[in-house]
Chain A
Amino acid sequence: MRMYLLMILLTTSLFLIARETRSQELDKVIISLNVKDATLKQVFNKIEKQTVFHFSYLTDDIRQVKTITYNKEKISLGTALGELLENTGLSYEQVEKNILIKKKGETIAIITDNTDNAAGTIRGKITDTEGKALNGATVLVKGTQIGTSTNEQGNFVLSNVPDGNITLLISAVGYTAREMAVAVSADRTASIDIKLTVETQGLGEVVVIAYGSATKRTTTGAVQTINAKELQDIPVPQITQKLQGRLAGVQINQVTGKPGQGMQVRIRGQASILAGSDPLYVVDGFPIVGNINNINPDEIETISVLKDAASTSLYGSRAANGVVLITTKMGKSGQTNIGVNAFYGVQQVPQKGRPEMMNGQEFAQFKKESFEDLGLPVPATFQNPAQYGEGYNWYDGMLQSAPIQNYSISINTSRDRFSTSAVASYFNQDGVLRNSDFRRFSIRLNSEYKVSDKIKAGFNAAPSHSIDNTPSSDGAFYASFIDPSAGGILNNSLLVWPILPYKNSDGSLPLTAFIPGVSAFATPNYYRALNEVTNETKTTRLLSNAYVEYTPIKGLSLKTTINADIGNSAFLNFKPSTASVTFVAPPPSPATSIRRNDHFYSWLNENLVTYRKSHGVHNFEVLGGFTTQKFRSEAEQLRLTDFPDDRIRTIQSAVNIDRTQSFSDIQEWSLTSFIARINYDYAGKYLFTAAIRRDGSSRFGADNRWGNFPSVSVGWLVSDENFMASINSVSLLKLRASYGVIGNNNIGNYTQYATVNTTTNAIFGSAIAPGASVVTLGNSDLGWETTKQLDIGLDLGLFKNRINVAYDFYTKKTTNLLYNVAVPQESGFTNFNGNIGELKFWGHEFTVSSKNLTGGFKWSTDFNISFSDNKVVKLSEGVDRLYGGFGAFQTITMVGQRIGQFWGLIHEGVYVDQGDFDKSPKATASQVGTAKYRDANGDGKITYGGDNDDRTFIGNPFPKFIYGITNTFSFKNFDLSIVGSGSHGNDVAIMTDQGATNLDGVFNVLRDVKDRWRSPSNPGKGRYGKTTSATFMERDWFSTRFVSKGNFFTIKNVTLGYEVPLKQNKYVRNVRVYGSVQQAYIFTNYRGVNPEVSTAANGTTGSTLNLGMDWGTYPVPRTVTFGVNVGL
């Protein structure tokens, strides 16, 4: 696979060195030339026919020249060339029988060397601009398979080159390549020494694709590749976080700010009801299981996102959500490089977005008024609100400013037959929420050894260890009722009465935060819970692979790879007797603990055959392969209760084991696959690819075990056609189309089986009698979810590729939707796992890259925008809707509508007075002063619940479009980049309002609740009703009052860098320092904390059926960092 990477094409200047010139001879050669609207290339062809001379030039240099009309009889070649090249910025130079066309002022020369060259041989040396030899650079005759690579001295010899005009393609990893037209014949062979410069402008031309790589020019799929180098200054721990705003059609949301966590990636609006919507991550060819949080971004060379079916179909039953290919760094040709990168920063939660709760005085006033409105005596606590002043801001108390730091050292070397790349890093992020942090130690060692010219072997190993300490911050204030390991501390912190301290004036911490007899709920001190509860996961992971590649004959490669991913994680939750995260369970209560260990391994064996062959203008590449993968995980959890002493946390010190939450779990799956692909192109102009994968999976039902996933794609490089040659402004125009079938197999490992639960025990007297029950319905026909995708795309390069535009239209149809169809529970079961229903997705994606200024002051802009939408075409027989969300806060997925729409009432204010009340539709419990809703079903009354109530569509969690913009500037030694990303048209449901606008007076509330209805003469602003009765309708009935527009544009990152000028020395090659602001500013009207949010009520990342719900999450901080990169 590394061989393909060598074909990476870059652009740079090229130097040819001449031994001597005899331009005067050109004046003696007389030609006649009569051309109309001809390209320079056509003109040169005509001259070559009349003379012995041949032209050599850089293809890009002459492509920009406008068409020529020239009519002269019997003119000297010298004069003609002078006139032809006038105002083109080009000049000519004669080297024996070669005429070299070059940009004015450039040093270009050719050394002719006929002495020992056999016919059809080109030799030369390739160096970098400083004259250092480049090992492994590729020289290829365009349109053929004739090519070679340079040796350690940078020399190459190309033999068997056909006579005539050919185009050489010279390239090297990390350097730019160009096409050079040269002439070959027995008397005209040449040595060409070429200098390549390091590419700084991005690896835009490289495309890593499934099981290989290709040039951007010849790919036919919708693929976008990013060089990790562009992302290196962004101070975040996860690679996906760095990609925000960079990729068209890829929505990357930071749904929670927990250190090292919380990224949600959705490619092309992908959504599956049950089967998961996360893309497949493939690291160095290895489809990995689970997340990529443990992978250090510093180890990554490139990231490719495969979006259409043609690009992804080689991943078959796992490809429907798109594929992210990650390539790690390999040893580079040339000298040994040592790089040291370090940054240090400080994170803070911006004031904007923090919830505006009542302060002490406002809250006491609110309580006082509530008692007055009830006609009850005001308790002494609230009689004098002014005494409390600001009170205690619990939310702010939870937060801190926190350091973030990263140190990494890398060594790259390539000597003799051995090349290696090593990266070691330490990342440490303290959280902006107290007592939270994420640390990661990681090493990667990638090595390759050339056993012989035909055999190559490689070994990569990447051990990592991370420690993730995260409080149970996210989720509803009652999250721990839903899930005992959840907490909802942040939501809870909003709700504590601000007249009560989280910290006493003497620095001690109270156990609880309630006033007996006055407070409604016995509330723990969450500040104490935050600081004292341990919630830590330690993960050790080893990702490794080994391969052997054998090239028995030219063009044929056989490769076998073994990949292994072995991981271990240990989770420890310990809650001392003094802390509680549960809102009605105040301490002291006996200490409890959860210990969980997960071990997993995944191995993959791949055997691939690739054969490349060119015959004239016909170029083929054929790939065939057989792969086998297996995964197994084992987990054990123990929940221990009643520790006698908070300081001893061992299992044996716990008095009890809570059997209901202690268990083992084993998960296993296997996958056997065959893959095949054929690429064909005609003269590099007409491109065709067909691919197929056949997957057999243990997850599918025995009667439906094997699936085929075919795809085809075509491309047409219109700009290579002769009729386009005269349109000089267009440097690239490619049309492409693809269609394919891909699958989604995220259905759980044993879903096909009817399982017998052996823990449905009974009690008789005082004896436990073991019980067993069939608890799920089996389905031996269960299969993967099928997605058929059509993609039509266009790539356009203008003005010598100064402006590049890409456009894609796609439409996807997902059928055999995997979901556990709810069945009536009269059956004894709750659901049936079936392949039922159909979803439709479609969208448009635009990417524009522009080099706005290219002089001393450089400015380039990359912009992308993507529009997407979806529709539910069909659900199971007789079912027109699915509900999601939590409790009464539901989303609906209804046939004919979008997926996961918010489903609630339309809030129309409050019943202002008796007259309003009498003439308006009402709910059973409505009163004057309570919330007024729209009678959506027109039955004259307000109902909530069931299928025929007054709920309707009140919000859409899917953005209409998402966009990103990156501006890069450089001037002299300074560089500046600004990355922004945005989303438009989506809604967010602020579920924290359930507590934070609770009118019962049991919680602290949003400041604007003070403008509520108190009497017909004091009706408030119509948003909140009275505190005295039937408040549940306002609080527990989902309505438009909870829904906020989710539009935002975030300046994700601003980085200013400075390359320190250094005197030439043998110790330090370069030093760059930079300052960076991450999450610099959010432009949004969203009144919650984080507009990218999406969580379930228990604080986990929301599934497709509860997207866009904000149950209270860890805030995303603004981070200011300073960093340095040193090259040795």
Chain B
Amino acid sequence: MIGFSSCKKDFLDIPSETNLTSATFFKTQADFEKAVNGAYAPLRTLYNNPAGNNSSAFFMGEMHSDNTYYVLNPNFRATIDQEQIADFIYDPASVIAANKYTTNYLVISRANQVLALIDGVDFDAAVKSNLKGQALFLRAFSYFELVQFFGKVPLHLTPVSSFAEAALPLSSVDSIFNQIIADASQAASLLPNKSVQQPGRATSGAAKTLLGNVYMVSKKYALAETVLKEIISSGQYSLISNYAAVFNPANKNNNESVFEVQYKEGNDGFASNFINPFLPQPISATEVAALFTANGVNPANVQALSVEGYNIPTPDLIAAYEAGDQRKDASIGYVTAGGKTYPFIKKYLHPHAQFGITNDNWPVYRYAEVLLLLAEALNEQGKSTETLTYLNQVRARAGLGNITSTGGLKDVIMNERRVELAFENKRWLDLVRTGTAVNIITAYGQRVKANPAAYYYPAGFAPVPASFTDIQLTFPLPASEALLNPYF
């Protein structure tokens, strides 16, 4: 019996059978394809995180503006983070801001893994260009989010492999922008056109739209004009005649779609659920069912919702629509919750089989925005006439008449963006980009405080005194990260 088992080295080498290890991965084309796919996955959480009720995209892009507010639920108060975002109270401990920050870095780290190793493995050059382009696009996109919402952030361009590499000092906003421009430009040249790319993946057009957006934020209007016009001349995109149809999951990745976050209905964890958090709450199962039925939506197992309603359109936004704008009814509906009627976002209400499990994608870039960005770039350069061409394309689809006057076009374009891109998380960054954020939000805050009932407060409740008192253009870096990064 003695010596029953020998003490061979391999007896003590037991790698996991349920997970691969990095030593055996990144060896083949298939590995890199999977790694690129893996880099897309966090985007789903960024835009839809029903579990934590902290999908940072809509909270920070839309509810953190004058477009939407929340319906305070006096009976459920574990919602301070969510409310503070809408009330312009900046808490470094906000889990919502932290979610934005960490999720973007998750995409970046996965892209970095690909970019660091892909050139060392030999496989089909066209596939490699496509994969590299996607990784570069995702990295540029994520840094663009970070720099706009947080300002200076650490610039990780290679994968972290040790404890010492985990924290980096903050990089200047300029250097981050330079990196984004470099990555997006390279992505635009490496990626194929939409017509030959698998639907949903980043394309040359998506990279160019991102680049155009970056140039707009950097106020490099001529460069923006050039790159945005390339998209138009590519012939890959067109406006869909019916505005509401743009958002219908039946038309995912349609001709107007430049880049959208992909979801899939079902129990396998890829589904979205935008509509439920966007309903005023508490709302009874009967009221939900009534709303759904009226809209031809009949999911099984409809339940009451009792947390708090978010992203509820403000009276300000509702007033921003011109008479006859078809987008208003397509975007905003009305619902009875707890016996009281509220507006709600109808854009994302579509048929689904199971309550809370929807098929809707989230639009990130649409061709309509390309047109509006181009119009803005042209207008900023004083090319008013040309501006109108693109602006009116968007208006025409909405059933509105052409604008002919070139006076005050800047404001006209901004309002057009507000209603065309309502509930697509564009409003706050537009206000920052155009330098109007502090004035507009301060005035808006005064309106909310003056008439809480108009902003859905129940009787006896009002915004907390600190709300809207100190409007800041970026969010504080998350406290959880500040704790761990010695350079902050």
Contacts and interface: CB of A to CB of B under 8 A. Distances in A.
Interface string A605-625: 101000000000000000000
B14 A668 contact: yes
A878 B484 CA distance: 8
A671 B198 CA distance: 49
A607 B19 contact: no
A764 B89 CA distance: 37
A761 B37 CA distance: 6
B170 to A, nearest CB: 10
Interface stretch (A352-360, A656-664, A953-961, A1105-1113): A656-664
Interface string A768-784: 11111110011100000
Contacts of B201: 764
Interface stretch (B266-274, B290-298, B385-393, B441-449): B266-274
A628 interface: yes
Given A517-B338, A1032-B80, A828 B74 contact: no
Contact of B306 (A520, A696, A768): A520
B263 A517 contact: no
B334 interface: no
B7 A827 contact: no
B430 interface: no
A589 interface: yes
B267 A656 contact: yes
B218 to A, nearest CB: 23
A1002 interface: yes
A937 interface: no
B93 interface: yes
Contact of A825 (B18, B161, B481): B481
A1002 B92 CA distance: 30
B18 A828 contact: no
Contact of B465 (A641, A774, A924, A1036): A924
A823 B167 contact: yes
Interface stretch (A110-118, A311-319, A749-757, A839-847): A749-757
B233 interface: no
A628 B23 CA distance: 27
Interface residues of A, number: 95
Interface string B46-79: 0000000000000000000000000001111110
B267 to A, nearest CB: 5
A628 to B, nearest CB: 4
Contacts of A664: 18
A669 interface: yes
Given A756-B21, A824-B481, A522 B1 contact: no
Interface in B413-460: 459-460
Contact of A826 (B17, B38, B153, B303): B153
A666 interface: yes
B304 A586 contact: yes
Contacts of B163: 777, 779, 821, 823, 832, 834
Interface stretch (B102-110, B174-182, B206-214, B368-376): B102-110
B59 to A, nearest CB: 17
Contact of B34 (A517, A657, A772, A1000): A772
A756 B166 contact: no
A755 B19 contact: yes
Contacts of A1028: 460
Interface in A789-835: 821-829, 832, 834
Contacts of B31: 772
B101 A825 contact: yes
A548 interface: yes
Contact of B484 (A517, A521, A777, A822): A822
Contact of A829 (B12, B37, B160, B465): B160
A1036 B166 contact: no
Contacts of B300: 590
A520 B76 contact: yes
Contacts of A947: 479, 482-483
A616 B16 CA distance: 56
B93 A777 contact: no
B31 to A, nearest CB: 7
A772 B267 contact: no
Contact of B41 (A672, A760, A821): A760
Contacts, number: 292
A758 interface: yes
B352 to A, nearest CB: 14
Nearest to A836: B163
Interface residues of B, number: 102
A768 B34 contact: no
Interface in B182-227: 198-201
Contacts of B483: 822, 879, 947
A1036 B77 contact: yes
A605 B92 contact: no
Interface string A120-152: 000000000000000000000000000000000
A766 interface: yes
B213 to A, nearest CB: 22
Given A755-B20, A824-B167, A628 B4 contact: yes
A765 B262 contact: yes
Contacts of A750: 14-16, 19, 21
A826 B156 contact: yes
Nearest to A664: B18
Nearest to B74: A1000
Chain B CB within 10 Å, residue with most, of A656, A762, A925: A762
A774 B168 contact: no
B235 interface: no
A829 B166 contact: yes
A1029 B72 CA distance: 12
B314 interface: no
B334 to A, nearest CB: 20
Interface in B70-126: 73-78, 80, 89, 91-93, 101-102, 105-106, 108-110, 112-113
B161 to A, nearest CB: 7
Interface string A555-586: 00010101000000000000000000000111
Nearest to B361: A763
B333 interface: no
Nearest to A603: B5
Interface string B326-353: 0000000000001100000000000000
B154 interface: yes
B166 A641 contact: no
B20 A768 contact: no
Contacts of B466: 924-925
B40 A771 contact: yes
A1031 interface: yes
Q: Which of B21, B77, B156, B464 has the most CB of A within 10 A?
A: B77
B405 interface: no
Nearest to B485: A824
A634 to B, nearest CB: 9
A1035 interface: yes
A768 B270 contact: yes
A762 B37 contact: yes
A30 B55 CA distance: 106
Nearest to A764: B200
B37 to A, nearest CB: 3
Contact of A827 (B89, B165, B252, B304): B165
B81 to A, nearest CB: 10
B199 A764 contact: yes
Interface string B26-45: 00000101111111110010
Contact of A665 (B18, B35, B40, B93): B18
Given A825-B101, A1029-B460, 17 more contacts: A376-B459, A517-B284, A517-B338, A517-B339, A520-B75, A522-B306, A589-B301, A664-B18, A669-B14, A670-B14, A749-B16, A768-B264, A769-B33, A772-B37, A773-B113, A824-B166, A924-B464
11 contacts: A374-B460, A520-B73, A521-B282, A657-B267, A668-B17, A761-B37, A766-B264, A823-B166, A824-B166, A827-B160, A1036-B77
Q: Identify the 5 closest CB pairs spanning chains A and B, nearest first.
A: A828-B109, A520-B75, A771-B37, A764-B200, A773-B38
